[in-house]
């Protein structure tokens, strides 16, 4: 602080950095919470496998055991095991993404 009560350049830069850091941390916490409360749902009308094309990408990339299963060639999310990590959504190659992430609380509505 200068004798005139103004912030020094160093204090200003440090303060800005800290504000940016706090904002980034808040966003990270918020996205973690969002992911934890989300669950994946396969939209059959967009899914390649439902159009008689061979695709198991979501199943292959899902990091959770038994969260995504293939039954008769079609993917199904076992919501009780889904952590909402979004990997299946991010890797889905369908022209219109076939994986919808919904709020876990909306499941079954
Ligand atoms: S959101 Fe994650 S855990 Fe859930 S089905 Fe997709 S890849 Fe698996
Ligand atoms: S990655 Fe997409 S298109 Fe492929 S099976 Fe999964 S939901 Fe269907």
pLDDT, tens digit, 9 for 90 and up, residues 34-60: 455 899 999 999 999 999 999 999 999
- Nearest ligand (C-alpha, residue 58): 2
Ligand 2 and 55: CB distance under 6 A? yes
Chain length of the chain: 109
CB atoms within 10 A of CB 40: 25
How many whole angstroms from 18 Cα to the centroid of ligand 2? 42
48 lines ligand 2 (CB under 6 A): yes
Place of tokens 């440090």: 14
Question: Does this model's pTM top 0.75?
Answer: no
52 or 33, which is more confident? 52
Residue nearest to atom 2 of ligand 1 (CA): 85
d(CA 25, CA 103): 22
- Nearest-CA neighbor of 92 among 101, 104, 83? 101
pLDDT at 15 over 50: yes
Token duo for residue 14: 């440090």
């Amino acid at each position: 602080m200068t004798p005139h009560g103004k912030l020094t350049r160093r204090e200003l830069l440090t303060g800005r950095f800290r504000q940016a850091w706090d904002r980034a941390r808040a966003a990270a916490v918020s996205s973690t919470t969002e992911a934890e409360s989300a669950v994946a749902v396969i939209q059959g009308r967009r899914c390649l496998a439902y159009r008689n094309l061979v695709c198991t990408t979501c199943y292959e990339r899902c990091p959770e055991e038994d969260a995504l299963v293939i039954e008769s060639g079609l993917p199904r999310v076992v919501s009780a095991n889904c952590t909402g990590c979004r990997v299946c959504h991010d890797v889905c190659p369908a022209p219109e993404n076939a994986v919808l992430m919904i709020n876990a609380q909306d499941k079954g509505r």
